[in-house]
Amino acid sequence: MKFIKATQYNVEFVEKNYQVLTSLLASKNYSSVYLLVDSNTEENCLPIFLQHSGLSIPLEVISIEAGEENKHLDTCMGVWESLSELGADRKSLLINLGGGVVTDLGGFVASTFKRGIDFINIPTTLLSMVDASVGGKTGVDLGPLKNQIGVINTPQMVIVDPHYLETLPGEEYRSGYAEMLKHGLIRDEEYWKILADFSAINTSDIEKHIFHSVGIKNEVVTEDPYENGLRKILNYGHTLGHAIESYFLTEKDKTTLLHGEAIAIGMILEAYLSTKLCGLDQGQCEEIKSTFNSIYPPVDINKQDIKDILALLIFDKKNSHGKVKFVLLEAIGKPVTDIIVEENLLWEAFDYYAN
C-alpha cells in the first residue's frame, strides 16, 4: 500500500480494499458516519465506494446538486441541517466523496459543524486527486468570487482510488491532466516529457503519475505552508489562466472553459513571456505550445476579449502594489517567481497563442 505523508494526515493510494479506512474507523470509534456526494458521484461513485470500502457500519448519505454553481453557503446550510436532523454530534465523521466541489464544501461544512468534526476526503476527479488532496484548503464561493469563504483545516485521511476515474467525462479528465503537466513544468522535466505524450498514457499508468503529482504538490506545500515563497510556483499558468477562466465564465455569448482548459492557455502564454523575460529556450516554448495544443481544443480570443481579460488581471489576488507578478520559467522544471510583465508583452503573448 502506497501513501504520501502530508501535514498531519496521509494520502492513501488504495486498490479496491479500503483497509486503511476500516482501521481508522475502528480506532476512532465515531458515533455516526455521514457520506457527502453530489448528484453525479452518487450515481457513479457511491456503488464503487460501497463495494471497495466493504464498510459494514450504518452510513447516512447526504447528496447535493453537482456543479461549481452550487459551491456556496446555501448548499452548506442544507448539509448542516441534514447533519443536525440526522443526529450528528461532535464525534461524528463526514466522508466527502466527489470532485473538488464536494471535498472543498464538505471540508468546510465539517470544519464548522459544532465547531469542527472529523472528515475524510475521497477525490473522484483527476483534478481533485492531484490538486485538492493536499494543502488543507476548504471553502465555498461568494457569488461569482471563487473560494472567498473558508478555513484551512486538514482531513483525517485522503483516499485515492483511480477506479473512480472510469466514469469521469473526458474533458474533466483532461482538465485535471493540465495540473499534472504543470507539475512537470515547474518541478520535473523528465515527468513533463512523459506526460506530454498524452495518447501514450493509459489507465494502468495513471495511478503512478497521480502519485508523482501528489508528491510534487505535497513537497512544495510542506516546504511553504503559508504561501510566502516556494508555493507561488504552483501558480504557473494561473495568473493569465484565472483571468481567462473568469472572463469566459461571465461572458454570456462564450462557452465556459474548464479550469484546466483555461490554465492550459495560461501556460502557453506564460511560456512565451518566459522566453522574453527569463531566457526560456525558444524550442522548449514551442514544445509547451504544441503539447497543450495537441490535448486541448483551440480557443478563439479576439482583441476585445484580450482587453477585458487584461482588465480582469488586476483583480488577481496575487497582485501587490498594483503590479501583476508572474511565475515564469527559466527552463522546463526551473520556475522563477515575482516577475513583473509590461502590458505590450501580454498582447504579444496572446498573438503567439493565436498563431
Ligand X SMILES: NC(=O)c1ccc[n+]([C@@H]2O[C@H](COP(=O)([O-])OP(=O)(O)OC[C@H]3O[C@@H](n4cnc5c(N)ncnc54)[C@H](O)[C@@H]3O)[C@@H](O)[C@H]2O)c1
Query: Which residues of this protein are in contact with ligand X, per CB under 6 A?
Result: 38, 40-41, 44-45, 66-68, 71, 98-102, 104, 124-125, 127-128, 131-132, 135, 137, 146-147, 164, 167-168, 172
Q: Is 163 exposed, middle or buried (0-12, 13-18, 19+ CB in 10 A)?
A: middle
Q: CA angle, corner 316, sides to 177 and 351, nearest 5? A: 65
Minimum CB distance to ligand X smaller for 128 or for 284 = 128
Choice between 101 and 185, CB closer to ligand X? 101
Using CA atoms, how far residue 57 sits from 32, 33, 38, 53, 54, in Å, is 9, 8, 21, 11, 9
- Residues 6+ away with beta carbon under 8 Å from 354: 301
Q: Which is nearer to ligand X, 102 or 216 (CB)?
A: 102
CB of 99 to ligand X, least distance (A): 2
In the bound complex, what is the minimum distance in angstroms from residue 173's beta carbon to ligand X? 10
- Nearest distance from residue 130's CB to ligand X, in Å? 9
DSSP 8-state secondary structure symbol assigned to residue 323: B
What is the smallest separation between the CB atom of 238 and ligand X, expressed in angstroms?
10
Q: For the CB of residue 314, give the shortest distance to ligand X in the complex, in Å.
A: 21
Among residues 159 and 346, whose Cβ is nearest to ligand X? 159
Which residue number places its CB atom closest to ligand X? 100
d(CA 166, CA 159): 16
Find the shortest distance in angstroms from Cβ 9 to ligand X: 14
Give me the least distance between CB of 135 and ligand X, in Å please.
Answer: 4
CA distance 220 to 230: 7
Give the residue with the Cβ less far from ligand X, 154 or 274: 154
Of 90 and 315, which has the nearer Cβ to ligand X?
315
d(CA 191, CA 205): 13
Nearest CB to ligand X, comparing residues 259 and 325? 259
Distance between CA 171 and CA 166 in Å, rounded? 13
- Sign of the torsion angle spanned by Cα atoms 267, 133, 173, 38: negative
Q: For residues 253 and 219, is the Cβ–Cβ distance under 8 A?
A: no
